[in-house]
Amino acid sequence: MDRYRLAPLREVRRLDERAKRNDLAAAVGEARATAADVAAAEQRVTAAREVLAAARTARDGLVASWLLALADRRISRCRAALDAAIGAHARAVATHAGRLDTVDAKRGTLTVARAEKELVERHFEKFRESQRKLAERREE
């Protein structure tokens, strides 16, 4: 039986498809991690909003001017914390969006690698079929 000339290419395509599949799995793992980061940042924003609302409510019941000044400073700190939490949330969302784009790109490269592997596999099947037919003709 003749040797299949594209055997090295067949092996390369198989390894390439496997590597692309691993790349996709890693990208999906990173996307899951950034999704968790987004959820945590969203919880921090919600908590900061609740603290700010509580500080405003506490200020409304005060009468003394020096207590009002302290309450206003606390509200300013709470607003700054809220702004920081909103900024962190926006950065987490942007990072996650980038990871999702990476996942889509990896899916595309995996699809291409699978198509190239399938092409070589189909060629190999035709080769085996022609070799089988050739062997049958020789036997007759």
Tens digits of residue pLDDT in 75-109:
999 999 999 999 999 999 999 999 999 999 999 99
Segment (H or E) for 5 = none
Q: Map out the domains of the chain as residue ranges.
A: 7-139
pTM for the whole thing?
Answer: 0.74
Contacts of 103 (CB under 8 A, 6+ apart): 24, 27, 28, 31
CA pair distance 56, 69, nearest whole angstrom: 12
pLDDT at 61 (0 to 100): 82
Q: Looking up tokens 């409510």, which residue turns up?
A: 57
Angle between helices 7-60 and 65-139 (to 10 degrees): 160
99 to each of 16, 40, 113, how far by Cα in Å?
22, 17, 21
Kindly report the CATH number that applies to the domain delimited by 7-139.
Answer: 1.10.287.1700
